Amino acid sequence: MSEIPKPRSTPFCSVRPTPAEPKPARAEAENAIRTLLRWAGDDPDREGLRETPARVARAFDDWFSGYDADPEEYLSRTFEEVDGYDEMITLKDIRFESHCEHHLAPIIGKVHIGYLPNNKVVGISKLARVVEAYSRRLQVQEKMNAQIAHCIQTVLEPQGVAVVIEATHQCMTTRGVHKPGVVMVTSMMLGQFRKNPLTRREFLSVIGNPTTSLDH
């Protein structure tokens, strides 16, 4: 869980990290992929691999499109005519696909988001887009959890935010210890979700209480 929400200058809502060097040209990226294919022991010039460098480069455009997205912008249009509604809003089972920043292996799972509005609500698809923006970057689950929670808290300024992520990590199932079926669960509770056990318990009940250890 987290401490007090960060101010608006927080890096959690930054558009993208600043690279140390300019982005390479696509031809450089494709040549790098050819090198990796050779290093793996295959021939990048054989028929089955001839177009693979270009395909992988295009796949990277999709997998890592979150670097060009602005999560704050997705939440900028809010609705205030909600007739005083101030009860919990929950969006659960938001499926995501990300990649581990340590091995470039897939991370696949779902995100559950809850917040207590404070005169402002946002279209539910925008919450899913925030998840998409952060997940389509090289990630670790804990950091992504914090980024989503702090961004919602910073922009919407609700009474509280709760974010729980359940995911499987292919860096653990396809290499290393080779343990399939393991699900990692992380959570971040801000504001009333952190302070009020009843509010936290209600949220966990709505999302199916993925782990009782969160409710303490």
Where in the sequence numbering do the catalytic residues fall?
100-103, 141, 169, 171
Neighbours of 201 (CB within 10 A): 14
Give the contacts of 175 (CB within 8 A, at least 6 positions apart). Answer: 103, 105
Q: Find the helix or strand (DSSP H, E) in which 202 lies.
A: helix 197-206
The whole-angstrom separation of Cα 15 and Cα 4 is: 22
**Cβ–Cβ < 8 Å for 63, 136:** yes
User: Of 128, 137, 72, which Cα lies nearest the Cα of 104?
Assistant: 137
Tokens of 181: 């079926």
Give the contacts of 200 (CB within 8 A, at least 6 positions apart). Answer: 162, 189, 193, 194, 214, 215
What string of DSSP letters covers 94-131? EEEEEEETTT--EEEEEEEEEEE-SS-EE-HHHHHHHH
